[in-house]
Amino acid sequence: MGEIISDLIRQFLETSALEAIAVIFGLASVWYSKQENILVYPTGIVGVLIAVYLTLKAGLYAEAGINFYYFIMSIYGWYYWLNTDQDRDQVPVTDCSLSEHAIGVLITLGSFGLIRFGLDYTDSTVPNLDAITTATAITGMWLMAKKKLENWIYWIITDIIATPLYFYKELYWFSLQFLIFTALATWGFFSWKKSLEYA
């Protein structure tokens, strides 16, 4: 336990200001999403643009790719949430239809298959876990942009798997961040469910 605490302190001291800003904006984005606040998108965009730069610089090209996808979906989500009639500030939370559930499962399985195949050509030591967290995050972001309640389920799965995965990789701060994301996503699910019930 003492070694983990020393590693956390060392990593904290070695964290660049830019990385810290990205994490702060990432946490803020999830918080705003839970609140159904449109600021989810500008804060998310700042966080992912910094993450794209940092991951490219570090040679983490797949991570840069997923962050670029988050950027594109954030622009789409920002437009979609505000593209509503005169009576509402933004679109309401809705449930997935049967076809949207099917598309979500297909996106997840298809993404997993492609990513898992691609990781065979890398030195990844955790290809299955890496592929599933990315695949569920892709679907979660798509459903969040559509303001579907079920987006939180995909984020919860992503965060639950990512927490021990990052811990195993000795990236303790990221592991802690995903643990916080798990709590926020669970809270977000119940907040959006309540919003849906009162719509």
Task: Report d(CA 100, CA 194) in Å as an integer.
Answer: 21
Backbone dihedral angles phi then psi of residue 114, each to the nearest 5 degrees: -65, -45
pLDDT tens for the chain, 199 residues: list them: 778 778 777 776 777 788 888 889 999 999 999 999 999 999 999 999 998 888 788 767 777 888 899 999 999 999 999 987 666 778 899 999 999 999 999 999 999 999 999 989 888 888 899 899 999 999 999 999 999 999 999 999 999 999 998 888 877 777 888 899 999 999 999 999 998 877 6
pTM (predicted TM-score): 0.88
The pLDDT value recorded for residue 86 is 66
Taking the mean position of all CA atoms in its chain, how far away is CA 154?
Answer: 9
The pLDDT value recorded for residue 110 is 98
